[in-house]
Amino acid sequence: MRLTDYTDYSLRVLLYLAVRGEGLSTIQDISQAYGVSKNHLMKVVQQLSELGWVDTVRGRNGGLRLAERTRALTVGEVVRATENDFALVACLPDQNGERRACVITPQCRLRNVLEAARHAFLTELDSHTIGDVAGPQGPLAALLGIRTVIPVMPAAPEGDKPVPIA
């Protein structure tokens, strides 16, 4: 099974934003981190935004962030939404349920094997969430060139507990 670049980039955007955590990222940030086309990522981000998986903030200080519920999405859900054809061979049904005729279809065992493989592939992808594959965040953040923000704790008077500064 081979996924399209579009699906690959969709997963990469979600992974980047999950690792980034707080704050906004730009398409330029993600493009530079992965070394992929900014134009390709613009199309991907548009769909991810339409699906409600990425929040976009317009304006000079705008950017992207992972929508709250996106960490719980499975990789399988993302793949199903971004791939347009799971027909591994012509006799398997496509997205519209259509299949091309094949002379051996009435006696073909290969079709069932390929359908089982496709099912197993998607089942495995469904067992992992975006949050799962985004960890551990520290090493991934370093590879992506993301600086982690460490909250500054002011000195507290004796007996008081420190309070993080937002």
Has residue 142 got a pLDDT over 80? Answer: yes
What is the arithmetic mean of pLDDT over 54-79?
Answer: 93
33 lies in which domain range?
5-84+129-144
Q: What is the CATH number of the domain that holds 11?
A: 1.10.10.10
Query: In the prediction, which pLDDT does 151 show?
Result: 47
Of 159 and 143, the structure prediction assigns the larger pLDDT to 143
pTM of the model: 0.79
Q: What is the percent of the chain with per-residue pLDDT over 90, rounded to a whole number? A: 51
Query: In the prediction, which pLDDT does 163 show?
Result: 54
Residue 32 corresponds to which tokens in the numbers above? 């530079």
Has residue 129 got a pLDDT over 80? Answer: yes
Beta bridge partners of 103: none
Query: In the prediction, which pLDDT does 150 show?
Result: 46
In a domain, 94, yes or no: no
Has residue 164 got a pLDDT over 80? Answer: no
Computed over every residue of the chain, the mean pLDDT equals 85
Query: In the prediction, which pLDDT does 56 show?
Result: 94
In a domain, 91, yes or no: no
In a domain, 118, yes or no: no
Provide the domain count of the chain.
Answer: 1
What is the arithmetic mean of pLDDT over 34-48?
Answer: 95
In a domain, 166, yes or no: no
In a domain, 59, yes or no: yes
pLDDT digits (tens, 9 = 90+) for 75-120: 999 999 998 777 677 677 666 667 777 788 788 888 888 888 889 9
